[in-house]
Amino acid sequence: MQLVERGEFNLDQPVANQLAKPLNEYEPYRDTASEIVKDPAWPTVTPRMLLSHSSCMVNFAFPARAAGSMTTRADDLARFTSALFDNRIIKASTQFEMLSPVIDIHILHEFPANPNEAQGKEATDVGLAYGVGWGLL
């Protein structure tokens, strides 16, 4: 979000357009991204879509990292969160954008296996949504 504030990164421009070369031409992603770039949706996927889990792309190749795999320690997360909410990392207006719902979640499971997942009342009642990189309640 700091790059967004500085105008160096656009959340709404497709990722493919922001890269100097195709994703699968970067050595660390050569093997894993080869299938992603074949997906017809890939040219339209934006960072905002990825950060709000709304790109509709399958995460079949990349292992979870950071807090998702617990390689981030609790004290690291606490320091980061404290700095974030004290407006020491990004401006208050950027924080507001980041923590505003991008997509509301109304289904029974966060990542349903069935695309026709039934809607549930519980998620709607608590205001479950994704912001830019954050799950929201």
pLDDT digits (tens, 9 = 90+) for 20-69: 999 889 988 888 788 888 888 899 999 999 888 788 776 655 554 544 54
Strands 103-104 and 129-130: antiparallel
Q: Report pLDDT for 33.
A: 83
Tell me which H or E stretch contains 135.
strand 135-136
Q: What is the pTM assigned to this prediction? A: 0.68
